[in-house]
Homo-oligomer: A and B are copies of this chain.
């Protein structure tokens, strides 16, 4: 099993979610994070112009079976894309065990 962590623009979340649902990835968790990266955002506050690279982003954590990995990554790459600096990143890592608390089911079966 693989864990996919995607850090995307908040404004793209709706599209990404729909795209995931279309390929039947209906299980994930997300939260808001601040991202530091290439993108800069200009602000003015009380006469002080400043630009910050600390930008609000949404972090998605999705555990999928190995078979689902590729299509999930592809779908995120596509639906989170705008082409402008700041579109975000996707990271993949291994998961060795998975459990569904409700049933005690283990591993791949718990992800369905």
| A80, A88, A89 pick with most chain B CB within 10 angstroms | A89
- Total contacting residues, chain A, CB less than 8 A: 54
What string of 1s and 0s marks CB contacts (under 8 Å) between A74-110 and chain B?
A: 0011001111111111111111111111101000001
Q: Select which of B3, B8, B76, B89 is within 8 A of A110 by beta carbon.
A: B89
- 0/1 interface trace, chain A 17-57, chain B, CB 8 Å (1 if under): 10000000011111111111110000000000000010001
Q: Which residues of B contact A63 (CB under 8 A)?
A: 89, 91
Among B34, B89, B92, point to the contact of A96 (Cβ < 8 A). Answer: B92
For A93, the chain B residues whose CB sits under 8 A away are 3, 93-96
Which 6 A-B pairs rank lowest in CB-CB distance, beginning with the nearest? A92-B97, A87-B101, A87-B102, A31-B33, A90-B99, A29-B33
